[in-house]
A and B are shown apart, each in its own frame.
Chain A
Amino acid sequence: MSKTFSIGGIHPDDNKISKDAAIEDFAPVKTTFISMSQHLGAPAEPVVVKGDKVKVGQLIAKSSGFISANIHSSASGTVRSIEMLPDLAGNLVQHVVIDVEGDEWMETIDRSKEIIRDIKLSKEEIIKRIADCGIVGMGGAAFPTHIKLTPPPGKVADMLLINGSECEPYLTSDYRLMLENPEEILIGARVMMRALNVKQAYVGIEDNKPEAIRSMEAVADKFYPDIKIVSLKKRYPQGGEKQLIDAIMGRRVPSMGLPIDVGVVVQNVGTAFAVYEAVQKGKPLIDSIVTFTGKCVTEQKNYRVRVGTTFDSVILATGGFPKEAAKLISGGPMMGKAVSCLDAATVKSTSGLLFLTEEETKRKPENNCIRCAKCVAACPMGLQPFFLNKLARAGRMDELEENMVQDCIECGCCMYTCPSHIPLLDVIRLAKNRVLKIMRSRPKN
């Protein structure tokens, strides 16, 4: 019997239509636009200037604060400019623009396919290497990994969870990675286990991906007995940190708390792979696996795309913008962001380019709440979305805080399940931001 988390959740169609497309390397483009804020926290500060020659894997921007990450060049060539350019939402962000010439890599990067199993570095060296290589969480939030691997004083991790659930419909990048590079992922997990000083790890994979479970199990059973593969019952949002901890270990993260409060660190399989490449092969994070999919897309693809490749160039190389497509989403349909600017470039955490037809994406007119409590049953955080919606529209910020609006993980289950098509998440997300602003402005005792 497969496990799953205990409260809330929904069952959207998984639509994994691109699951049979093997990962292809996307050829480098002529010009690369590398964003300086690809991670949660402060944007990185460029260390190159106009006219500099750079190689693939060379440091071009330094982390500029406690929560921030280094950024490396994903192309070799000349820095054309450092300027403000729109990101996928149209907001201006500092970018380093590189005119690509050839494909010359840094000598320190081991580009062979050979798997290096021996972990030579010590705990401190591993964390330093991960920070130097600019590894961030590949699950979507892009939280700098080295910070997650350094528990705050007084807190100790006793378990590492690797998230291979990929509960978002359509996306298959993690799935392909688990099929094609299972051992690298497990070595990456081992590296992080050493960094955290934990003895055991679990990899959670949903049971709609039996091939991935088999592929990972085959390697884990043979070489890595301290890493267990757990089959999970398909349910969204299983890939949320708090849900995954509940599903695999039955521990509950307290309200406003972090996984480390219950002694757990959760990392995505993509992050584990990036950690393997950084620590064992010396390769910084300069690419991500991007699923190119949608029902109106003729060629389903899984690309390894270099950071800084414009969406436009990926689309052009894959048969152009599909005719029936009405909306392009970066990420999955549940938590991804709509792309309003095709000139924007991919970032470290880009996991998918999803085209939706008008029929799929069209919103239905909003009706009155009928108090059916479907949203309450669906909320994986145990909140009451209909009530939060009501409070938010009345502007009652104090009551929103009392009703723990800050615990919302913005998974969208409430909005998906609402029979009256109330835009619950839109309203709650805005209220959450406003309440957060109020809480931050409060003097600390």
Chain B
Amino acid sequence: MNTVLFTILSLTILGFLLALILYFVAQKFKIEEDPRIDEVQAILPGANCGGCGYAGCRAFAESCVRASSLDNNFCPVGGNDVMKQIAGYLGMEVAEKNPQIAVVRCNGSYDNRPKINFYDGYPSCAVMSSLYAGDTACRYGCLGLGDCEQACQFDAIRVNVETGLPEVDESKCTGCGACVKACPKMIIELRPSGIKNRRIFVSCVNKDKGGIAKKACTAACIGCTKCQKVCAFDAITISSNLAYIDYNKCKLCRKCVQECPTNSILEVNFPVRVTKKEEESQLVEQ
């Protein structure tokens, strides 16, 4: 009986003493953390994707609380809504930003760009591009092994089995840029999703001379400068045989799309164009 009593007593005293020590240590080494960080983190989507440039949502919340203005901080996943909430909570102002979306600048589908050899190595674009130029005659284009698909946390980019090219699901893409970093050929670009979600971009990154590019892929930009000439807003620049449309200058007039001889300029989410002939035939029908 004595042994039991002694055990209980000694352990109780020991427990009490240790708790006391822990209490004082905790007081002494207390880390003062801004309580607002927790609040801001609660507003954030919690994807921890790194699209903002910070390691995760917590790091981003910390930087928001510490920053004097929110100009350099933007959460691509939450977008303007979340940023407004954060700004409201922190009593700061935030400028509205255009949401961005990933676009795949390669149109070299199996039909457009025939294979000239077969790759049987480890199925990763990064490994493949470190070994050789690729399995088509185009050294710049998509390798189609899906490093972007693996990098995407939101299931927003998928390689289409029929074309061999990745496709972006607009409803899911948050513009975090993980696929942009994963692509060894630097094909994917973040562009503003545009007015009414409409975008025009050159879907090619081939810098070869026109003849070589055309031989490798029927949908290649051949650097013919036709689009540049037709553009009224000076939005198109051509360097090393490749056209690029500046999204800040482009007014989405679609003239360049019609002009391109290889159909390498793509338009997204525009209503179907009605040609003059079709218009006439519609009138006749009426």
Interface of A: prevailing SS: mixed
Once the chains bind, are B121 and A423 in contact (CB under 8 Å)? Answer: yes
- Return the CB mask of A95-136 against B: 1 if under 8 Å, else 0: 000000000000000000000000000000000000000000
**B127 adjacent to chain A (CB < 8 Å):** yes
Once the chains bind, are A91 and B132 in contact (CB under 8 Å)? Answer: yes
Once the chains bind, are A427 and B122 in contact (CB under 8 Å)? Answer: yes
Once the chains bind, are B121 and A91 in contact (CB under 8 Å)? Answer: no
Chain B residues with CB under 8 A of A341: 133
Chain B residues with CB under 8 A of A89: 131-133
Interface size on B, residues (CB 8 A): 15
Interface centre among A86, A90, A341 (most CB of B within 10 A): A90
Q: Which residue of B lies closest to A432 (CB)?
A: B130
Once the chains bind, are A363 and B120 in contact (CB under 8 Å)? Answer: yes
Once the chains bind, are A90 and B122 in contact (CB under 8 Å)? Answer: no
Within 8 A of A (CB), among B113-145: 116-117, 120-122, 124, 126-127, 130-135, 139
Chain B residues with CB under 8 A of A427: 122, 127
Within 8 A of B (CB), among A323-379: 337-338, 340-341, 361-363
**A258 adjacent to chain B (CB < 8 Å):** no
For residue B118, give the distance in angstroms from its CB to the closest CB of chain A: 9
Once the chains bind, are A426 and B120 in contact (CB under 8 Å)? Answer: no
With A91-B139, A92-B139 known as contacts, the answer to whether A426 contacts B127 (CB < 8 A) is yes
For residue B196, give the distance in angstroms from its CB to the closest CB of chain A: 38
Q: Which residue of A lies closest to B136 (CB)?
A: A90
Which listed residue, A91, A423, A426, touches B133 by the CB 8 Å rule? A91
For residue B150, give the distance in angstroms from its CB to the closest CB of chain A: 10
Chain B residues with CB under 8 A of A340: 116-117, 132-133, 135
**A430 adjacent to chain B (CB < 8 Å):** yes
For residue B81, give the distance in angstroms from its CB to the closest CB of chain A: 32
> Complex Cα distance A427/B127, Å?
7
**A194 adjacent to chain B (CB < 8 Å):** no
Q: Which residue of A lies closest to B138 (CB)?
A: A90
> Complex Cα distance A426/B125, Å?
12
Q: Which residue of A lies closest to B184 (CB)?
A: A430
Identify the A interface with B (CB < 8 A). 86, 89-92, 337-338, 340-341, 361-363, 423, 426-427, 429-430, 433
Q: Which 9 A-B pairs have the closest CB atoms?
A: A90-B133, A89-B132, A426-B122, A423-B122, A340-B117, A426-B127, A91-B133, A430-B127, A340-B132
11 A-B residue pairs with Cβ-Cβ distance under 8 Å, sorted by A, are A89-B131, A91-B132, A92-B139, A338-B131, A340-B132, A363-B120, A363-B121, A423-B121, A423-B127, A429-B127, A429-B130
Beyond known contacts A89-B133, A92-B139: 9 more, CB 8 A cutoff: A89-B132, A90-B132, A90-B139, A337-B132, A341-B133, A363-B121, A423-B127, A430-B124, A430-B130
